A and B are shown apart, each in its own frame.
Chain A
Amino acid sequence: MAYDKHKFIIITFLLSAFLCYTCYIYNSLPRKASAMDEQSSAGKLIWQKYNCGACHQVYGLGGFLGPDLTNEYTARDTAFIKLFLKDASVFTPVMPVFNMPESEMDALLSYLKSIDASGKSDLRTFKVNSNGTIEQ
């Protein structure tokens, strides 16, 4: 019985710690002020609607058939990106021909802009500390 008691103490402790950690993160999300404007918020949903993430990564996460697009907005000009969103077949046989309406392209562009403004995904920009952690 005493043995069971120890288990209950440990599980209560772990669950409380997990709940505190979770509440802290929800309550004070890492980025506060700069809420996405409406257009880029709509752009995120369009990104999901076309499932761009199956081939592209943001901060290295996603599918790997296409390149990471975190900082695409500064790497390329908007006219170039729009060409891809209309008909990428001139550049690559892989990416679908989306023929996107202008409004969706604009929303996606502001989404790409907001991602770009959030940080850099280039792994070459990281500094390795001697304790094994990394910093940018």
Chain B
Amino acid sequence: MEPSNNKQLNTNKLFIVAGLILLGFGMIYGLTGAFQYLVPGFLKKYFSFEKIRPLHVSAVVFWIILGAMGSVLFYLQQYTQKKLHTPWLTKVQLLVFLFTILAILTSYCFGMFGGREYWEFPPLLALPILFGWLLFLYNVINTIGSIRNQPVYVWMWLTGAVFFLFTFLESYLWIFPYFRNNIVNDMTVQWKSYGSMVGAWNMLIYGSSFFLMEKISGDKTYSTSRMGFLLYFIGLFNLMFNWGHHIYTLPTYHFIQYVSYVVSMTELLILGRIIYEWRASVSTARRHFHHAAYKFILAADVWVFLTLLLAIGMSVPALNIYTHGTFITVAHTMGATIGINTFLLLAIAFDILHETCLTFEPNTKLFNRTYFVINASLFAFWISLIAVGVMQSKWQMSEPRILFGSMMVELKPFFISFFIFGLILTIGILIIIYPLIKNQLLCYYTKSKSKKTT
């Protein structure tokens, strides 16, 4: 068996490249959406907000999903030191995903919907996604073989792959009238599935970043330690039971609120550990900071802390009524999907793509400056979203309320800052990902050319 080699051009890398391209487009859609908050009716005729929002959210969600799948497929081979169980299936998997994503984005452009929030596309398009995921799961399970004596990241990959399948199916239960015939039932099951689904892709990404950390530091003790597994089980416990915080204000069962509230508080243990280990991680950081991949892991660490702080606050029902239905929720979602998911996947992308046929050395000065700009602008972006949310919350709770339209006009300065920092963030991320994408595509181009000439 041939070990997977960084210099090989393979399908697994293409998952990540395709994801990066989607991220680029996704951010541009996001900017367009933010501009529509500033200039009501902007591009209404062709790209009204009901098209732009799903274009943005689906593009970035598929970046996360493709990146997660690619990283697992790639690292699984490095870990087992052998090829995947059925390598050609990944080609089919990639093609299925790419065609489906293209079909989904096109359907949005033509205003063809039919699904619910986050999966707004016509429900038939869920079938190829399901099929593609089954191919992924088949390869993951069979490549791993036995779960005995495996490090924590293998457990995380398996958990993520299985739970995504389950929650994705669950999120389509609404097609049966039994589940959708009452809005309360419909939304309860919807948010049960969505809450856990985010946990599922987090498992895949965290698993890959643990593997990457182990590679960078050469320290293999954490991934088999009791602490590593303890944190994994806390994560899984939350994935399974803390989804209720999305629907505290829905008139559903009270126990859903209580279970979620209590379970969420176990996240304090994770928060406590981050604070406790702060000094140790600072010294590790000094040792590895020269590493492009490591820099993004470090940034993600800070965002785990900030996001967890906000999440734990929002999980207290008494506080949740001030954050629910406002941009604070958006701050939480975008903070997590950018600061944690995207940053970890960028770290992984640097590791996996940095020497594909052409060795890629980022221009250090430009890289460092852009890295700083990305982090600073993301923080300002996040604070702007929270500020919008605080104002909306005040409005929601005020008695009497001014008109919705007048409230939106008052929020304009905050939307301006949201847009400007979003723009800087987008430019920063584009500068970082452009050479990664260019490098890969150049490689494919030169490879296919040399094949032709020989």
Contacts and interface: CB of A to CB of B under 8 A. Distances in A.
Interface of A: 3-4, 7, 10-11, 14, 17-18, 21-22, 25-26, 29-31, 34-36, 41, 44-45, 48-55, 57-68, 92-94, 96, 114-115, 118-121, 123-124, 126, 128-129, 132-134, 136
B13 interface: no
Given A17-B240, A30-B252, A53-B116, A4 B148 contact: yes
A22 B247 CA distance: 16
B318 A134 contact: yes
A18 B237 CA distance: 9
B247 A62 contact: no
Contacts of B246: 61
A26 B116 CA distance: 19
Interface of B: 36-37, 40-41, 44, 48-51, 53-54, 113-117, 120, 148-149, 155, 173, 177-189, 191-192, 226, 229, 233, 236-237, 240-241, 246-253, 257-259, 261, 316-322, 324-327, 330, 392, 396-397, 399, 404-405
Contacts of B180: 36, 41, 44
Contact of B120 (A51, A58, A126): A51
A41 B114 CA distance: 13
Nearest to B191: A61
Contacts of A114: 182-183
B188 A29 contact: yes
Chain B interface, DSSP helix/strand/loop, else mixed: helix
A48 to B, nearest CB: 6
B179 A49 contact: no
Contacts, number: 173
Contact of A30 (B49, B184, B233, B322): B184
B241 A21 contact: yes
Contacts of A94: 36, 40-41, 44, 49
Given A30-B185, A41-B181, A123 B321 contact: yes
A48 B250 contact: no
Contacts of B247: 59, 61
Given A29-B182, A29-B188, A118-B183, A133 B317 contact: yes
Given A30-B253, A61-B117, A134-B321, 6 more contacts: A22-B192, A65-B37, A123-B321, A128-B321, A132-B261, A134-B257
B182 A48 contact: no
A51 B54 contact: yes
Given A35-B182, A48-B113, A54-B50, A132 B44 contact: no
Contacts of A136: 251
A62 B50 CA distance: 11
Contacts of A52: 50
A4 B236 CA distance: 17
Contact of B321 (A45, A93, A126): A126
Given A123-B321, A123-B324, A123-B325, A54 B251 contact: no
A114 to B, nearest CB: 7
B354 to A, nearest CB: 34
A134 B187 contact: no
B183 A51 contact: no
15 contacts: A14-B233, A21-B241, A25-B192, A26-B189, A29-B189, A30-B251, A31-B182, A36-B180, A44-B183, A58-B183, A60-B249, A61-B246, A67-B404, A133-B317, A134-B248
Contacts of B51: 51, 54
A123 B249 contact: yes
A49 to B, nearest CB: 6
A49 B114 contact: yes
